[in-house]
Structure 1
Amino acid sequence: MTDAGAQHRLASVLAEVRGRSRSGAGAGWSRVRGGFPLALQAGLAAGLAWFIAHDVIGRPSPFFAPIAAVITLASSVGQRARRTIELVVGVAIGIGIGDAIILLIGSGPWQIGLVVVLAIVVAAAVGGGTPLVVQSASSAVLVATLTSGTGLPYTRFFDALVGGAVGLTVMTVLLPLNPLTVVRRSADPALEAFTEGLHAIADGLSGRDADAVKAALDRLRSAEANFAAFDQAAAAASENVAFAPARWRARGALSQYVEGADQLTYALRNVRVLARRVMTALQDDEPVPECLPTSVRLLGDAVELLREEWARGVEPIATRERALRAAAESGRAYDEGVGFSGGVVVAQVRTTVSDLLRATGIEYAEAPRLVRRAVGWHGRPRTVRRKPGRSRPGASGRGPS
């Protein structure tokens, strides 16, 4: 029996190790697939920048051209145009200061230090961001250490200009990334984590398991990075489709992601508040009507439907219907009886539903009106005297959005 138990435990451990190995290999392959298009762009841009500067224009050693091309493509997503301008300006400042200092006082360790200090001070004085400061300092160092003082300063600046222009051309015309592929690759992990978190909260609420809800809350906090990546990818894709004629036909489907990204971030924050209140309700042993976990589970279903409908590029009608069902289900909780924290959970469900509706393209003011109609508050008077005790918030004709 002991040997059989040991073998069983060993088999379980080996299975877990194999699973982790497969998941690790799968994650690695996914990262390679995600990074390969950028690598291809950068390689093409570097070779093309050198070819134009060296073979077409006739520069003898235009090493700044491929450097500028690669940095342009590798700059932060969503800000490539601005980063390219900062790159060129930074190179100009660094080259100018480096050439001037070396011409006046020669080269050496302290001269290099002085060049870097002056380049950074000037870059900061003109209000540049990190890319401008970094490029000013690095360009000054390159001029002070690797280039001779006989070359004309403007030629090195021209190399950087050629490289930046080539990088932008590759990015927008010659080899533009598919913006829908980029944004979906970032949106899917965020939406999947959101769906799993909502379903886990619903399960924990139904089973009165505060620890399970806390674990779900921790995972949702970790998902903030996925949502930040989604926001950045949406901004980058919007820029890409604006400047790449070959991708203009994707503007309609892409607009769903771009316009919905912020609203989903708001929804995530509201759900985190919801999760904390669920934990408090369970710890205080408040009543939990079955409709409450059902409404949270329906929210998770709505997020999953949104991911699927966005991927198909269709109007997210099913998402709206499921979200409004979640709002209607939460409204029943007051009739069945909830405590203070349970009431806050109901309010957060409705607020999250409003965020999801706005993410699907519903107008800002229209979303809470639809939520009120779903819960049954449409057309109620807005001001009436409150009755003693806790009553359904619909008695005032108003409900949180």
Structure 2
Amino acid sequence: MTATLAQARRRTTRTLRDRLRRVRAGVGLAVQAGLAAGLSWWVADSLLHIAQPVFAPVSAVIALAASAGQRLRRTVELIVGVSVGVLIGDLLIFLLGVGAWQLGLVVVLAIVVSVLVGGSPAVVVQAAATAVLIGTLSSSVPNLEIPRFFAALVGGAVSLVVTAVLLPLNPLRVINRAAVPALDLLIAQLDATAEALIHRDAAAAQTALDRLRDNKSEVGAFTEAAQAAREASTLSPVRWESREGPVGRYAQAAEPIDRAMRNSGTLIRRTVTLIEDDEPVPDALPEAVSALAEAVRVLRREFTSADEPDEAREQMCRAVAAAGRAYRTGVGFSGSVLVAQVRTTASDLMVAAGLDQDAANGVVRHAFGPFRAG
């Protein structure tokens, strides 16, 4: 009973901690949305005197609700969708009048036209929603079409001003927050694999493989954060200087780190087979995998501190050199595949650390050394 209560208490504490972390992460977006809503209403109502200015704050919040990194695109989609909805709704209501079946037809045609012109789901939704508003409110609110369009334009523009000028995101902080869990996952499973090799523990290696495969949330968050960092450093004048510096380098690392994750999965899967087949495990083989984990650890630290990842590249070379020694000592079939995956993963990490692919392959080839002893 006491153990159950203690477990429940730990679970409650962990859940509360996770919720507080999510609240802290969402405070910035909440403040941005509140400012954008209030400012867009003021611009539309007090400055431009747009009828029915409620569409302005709604559009601003819709644009801000898009994932960070997609707000510029969402704003453009918002305007396109509203334009299609206004065009279809106004034309058909002028020709057919207002009523239930006319409203249904307006929505159908707005969606069909949006899909026909290659609109995204966001464009389709905006076109349909605008067509509904035009079809249901035109009889009670005259000349709604142009105000709806300009209100959407104001809302989208204000949302961009808020995120780019008034309350810009810190792109390095955004990408750090998302990248660290992905890199920590890779580090932990490579460390576990090195230990599994030392102790010939196939079950431990399989556990590491299963955990690494379950990486969609970490990798997805990292990729989304990379988009957000690029957008923030492009739109915000105060972040322009970071585009070619640590933020740009960090953002470009998302794709090669994703590849490193997948190649590490193959490495760990071969580790399971190697242990089950009782193949030889030279001392340098777990050393290579452990050095690879350390390379990711150093890369994470240098990314977080916005340093040039020179030490991480050196550590990657150590991992490849150890793999070369293991190969020359003698490995079986799965062992040779594991060695190859250490090289491939190190090459991916070299690209993440700022080298182009050809240069990374050359560094890895040199670090590996000759294929035969002597």
Change (3 A) 1:19 1:290: farther
Q: Match of 1:389?
A: none
Retained in 2: the 8 A contact 1:330–1:349? yes
SS at match of 2:357: coil
The CA deviation at 1:52 is: 0.8
The 2-side partners of 1:36 and 1:102 are apart by: 43
**Structure 1 segments of 4 or more deviating over 6 A?**
none
| Aligned partner (choices 286, 305, 314) of residue 307 of structure 2 | 314
Per-residue CA deviations over 1:166-185 (Å, capped at 9, x if unaligned) read 11111111111111111111
SS at match of 1:289: coil
The 2-side partners of 1:82 and 1:23 are apart by: 36
Per-residue CA deviations over 1:63-108 (Å, capped at 9, x if unaligned) read 2111111111122333322221111010111123223333443433
The 2-side partners of 1:75 and 1:61 are apart by: 24
Q: Match of 1:136?
A: 127
The CA deviation at 1:139 is: 1.2
The structure with the largest alpha-carbon Rg is: 1
Q: Match of 2:221?
A: 229
1:355-394 equivalence runs, <5 A: 355-377=348-370, 393-394=371-372
The 1-side partners of 2:88 and 2:350 are apart by: 55
Question: Which residue identity is paired with 1:51?
Answer: W
Per-residue CA deviations over 1:351-392 (Å, capped at 9, x if unaligned) read 111111121112322222222222223xxxxxxxxxxxxxxx
| Aligned partner (choices 176, 182, 203) of residue 195 of structure 2 | 203
Structure 2 residue 1 is the aligned partner of structure 1 residue 18: no
TM-score by length of 1: 0.88
Q: Match of 2:233?
A: 241
SS at match of 2:253: helix
Structure 2 residue 195 is the aligned partner of structure 1 residue 218: no
Change (3 A) 1:12 1:330: farther
SS at match of 1:163: helix
Q: Which has the higher contact order (CA 8 A, sep 6+)?
A: 2
The 2-side partners of 1:216 and 1:66 are apart by: 47
Change (3 A) 1:345 1:314: same
The 1-side partners of 2:50 and 2:252 are apart by: 46
| Aligned partner (choices 287, 291, 304) of residue 297 of structure 2 | 304
SS at match of 2:119: coil
Q: Match of 1:34?
A: 25
Structure 2 residue 128 is the aligned partner of structure 1 residue 105: no
The 1-side partners of 2:344 and 2:58 are apart by: 49
Change (3 A) 1:107 1:235: same
Per-residue CA deviations over 1:160-216 (Å, capped at 9, x if unaligned) read 111111111111111111111111111111111111111111122222222221211
Retained in 1: the 8 A contact 2:186–2:293? yes
The CA deviation at 1:152 is: 4.4
SS at match of 1:101: helix
Structure 2: gaps (5+ residues):
none
The CA deviation at 1:303 is: 0.7
Q: Match of 2:324?
A: 331
Q: Match of 1:116?
A: 107
Q: Match of 2:266?
A: 273
Q: Match of 2:186?
A: 194
Identity of aligned residues (%): 50
Retained in 2: the 8 A contact 1:198–1:299? yes
The CA deviation at 1:337 is: 2.4
Retained in 2: the 8 A contact 1:102–1:149? no
| Aligned partner (choices 40, 43, 51) of residue 52 of structure 1 | 43
RMSD: 1.9
The 1-side partners of 2:4 and 2:330 are apart by: 46
The CA deviation at 1:14 is: 3.4
Q: Match of 1:388?
A: none
| Aligned partner (choices 255, 264, 268) of residue 262 of structure 1 | 255
The CA deviation at 1:11 is: 4.2
Structure 2 residue 282 is the aligned partner of structure 1 residue 289: yes
Retained in 1: the 8 A contact 2:52–2:147? no
Q: Match of 1:183?
A: 175
The 2-side partners of 1:218 and 1:112 are apart by: 51
Structure 2 residue 336 is the aligned partner of structure 1 residue 343: yes
Deviates more, 1:302-311 or 1:251-260: 251-260
TM-score by length of 2: 0.94
| Aligned partner (choices 334, 345, 353) of residue 352 of structure 1 | 345
The 2-side partners of 1:321 and 1:347 are apart by: 19
Structure 1: gaps (5+ residues):
1-9, 378-392, 396-401
| Aligned partner (choices 161, 164, 167) of residue 172 of structure 1 | 164
**Number of equivalent positions:** 372
The 2-side partners of 1:331 and 1:80 are apart by: 47
SS at match of 1:59: coil
The CA deviation at 1:230 is: 0.9
Retained in 1: the 8 A contact 2:51–2:144? no
SS at match of 1:365: helix
The 2-side partners of 1:181 and 1:50 are apart by: 30
Retained in 2: the 8 A contact 1:99–1:149? no
The 1-side partners of 2:257 and 2:193 are apart by: 18
| Aligned partner (choices 69, 73, 85) of residue 76 of structure 2 | 85
